[in-house]
Amino acid sequence: MSANRGFSCRRIEPFRLDLTGLPEKEVLNIVERCFTIFGQSFSDDLVIGAMRVLLSMVGNGSFKAMDMCRWQLDPYSTFIESYSARSRLFAYCKKEHERGQQPATLCLGLMYLNGFGVEKNPAAAFNYYKEADDGRCIFAAAQIGLLYEKAGDNLKAIEYYKKGADSDEMLSMNALANIYSKGLIVKKDYLEAYKYLLKSAPLEEYRESNALWDMTYELVQEKAFSPALIEIVLSHISQMDAAENVLEDFYRGAFEYCIELAEKGENCALFNILNLIRQLIDKKDTDPTFAAFVVIYFENLAAVPFALVIVGEIYLNGSGVVEQNLAMAFKYLKKALDSEDLQAPHAIRKLAGEFSSSRSGYLDYSGALMCYRLLEEKGNQEAKNAILDMFLKNLAVNDDPEFTLRILREFSLEENENAEKAKLKLAEFVLKPLKRRNDSELSQASKKMRNLINKNF
């Protein structure tokens, strides 16, 4: 590599590798190629240049860079096979440590622990880890925790893991999640385990490790559901990748647990879960089968109006793999309204708008009128105004004359601009049958006259 690309093989400055401005993933790919290709050959300088980049990234808090350091400084997993490269890496990290660079101090600990470029010395490794930790290197606490755990001092191990977790260090959080989910050292606690796995960390890391889904599988198998657990998993579930069967098993178990909550009358916990589910339904990145599971299981929650509203809205909007079905939406929203659910009126107004909107693929003003009539019967003035507007615009055929007369008469008695409009429509409604009858009688009289004339002439 030429000097104008940021790296020089001159002895004055032999370890430069300039990757400034590149995304983290691309930088790590280049660094890994350096270790893979040149770690087995003569170019020790390039290997050290790659390590310089890694240490810089570790200093900036890159978990992936730290993970690569752990991997490459382990004789059993590294691509750096050259004895010369390993020795020079050790010397380089020693020099950087003497300059006060804590990532290099931490790497010296890894080298002494693994016997990489130097003889194994666990005591020296611990001292370097401790020095890096005192220097506020966020990755050091996890390494100290690992040493204490291997030595059997579990309380000290948890102390350092928690210290690392407080800095959002992923190895510490993974270790604590494993400890709590397996019930190692402490009492098994899935909620604490999820909190550590999900705490401020990029979920992309867990997608690769499958740690979340391994734990979710265990949770489902043990039926260890709780309201808080369901909420924390559902809150993140749309952002995670997982095997389809793990998702389905979780949905099934979680929703069956909701039915148990309803049967026990634990309405507060159930409402919180339902409210979260309602928020998730319309999210674009939510698993498309999610709505289908909600419908399957929440149809059984007939005693919980808010659950009926959710099912009704799923059919109303056509969520995920559930196709829009306005008749089914009307069925569940009517049940919710009859149960005095406070969310139902808003959903039914939305359904009325969908009935009379071309978005649904057809116009059904009678369906819209049915929705407004449900609300009007509950004393909803807004719905009553909408019904009058439909009558005035002749948008719906009404098969209930008594209902029509009542609405128009009530509006005609009011002292506002709707009164005159209602009076005119009322007159038209009352007189139209009379006109039809008179026209029929006149037609009959005319027919008789024609018959009489035909007989006499």
Sequence-distant (6+) residues with CB within 8 A of 69 are 54, 55, 58, 103, 106, 107, 110
Tokens (6 digits) for 162: 């928690």
pLDDT for residue 417 is more than 70: yes
pLDDT for residue 430 is more than 70: no
Look up the pTM and report it.
Answer: 0.70
**277 or 361, higher pLDDT:** 277
pLDDT one-digit tens code per residue, 324-334: 999 999 999 99
- Give the least confident one: 4-13, 60-69, 359-368, 409-418: 4-13
For residue 289, name the pLDDT band (cuts at 50, 70, 90): confident
pLDDT one-digit tens code per residue, 364-396: 888 899 999 999 999 999 999 998 888 888 886
What proportion of the chain, given as a percentage, has pLDDT over 70?
Answer: 82
CA distance 52 to 89: 10
What proportion of the chain, given as a percentage, has pLDDT over 90?
Answer: 38
CA distance 103 to 136: 10
pLDDT one-digit tens code per residue, 125-140: 999 999 999 999 999 9
Of 30-39, 202-211, 240-249, 286-295, give the range with the top mean pLDDT: 286-295
pLDDT number for residue 40 = 58
Specify whether the CB–CB gap between 205 and 170 falls below 8 A.
Answer: yes
pLDDT number for residue 58 = 92
pLDDT number for residue 238 = 63
Domain residue ranges in the chain = 1-137
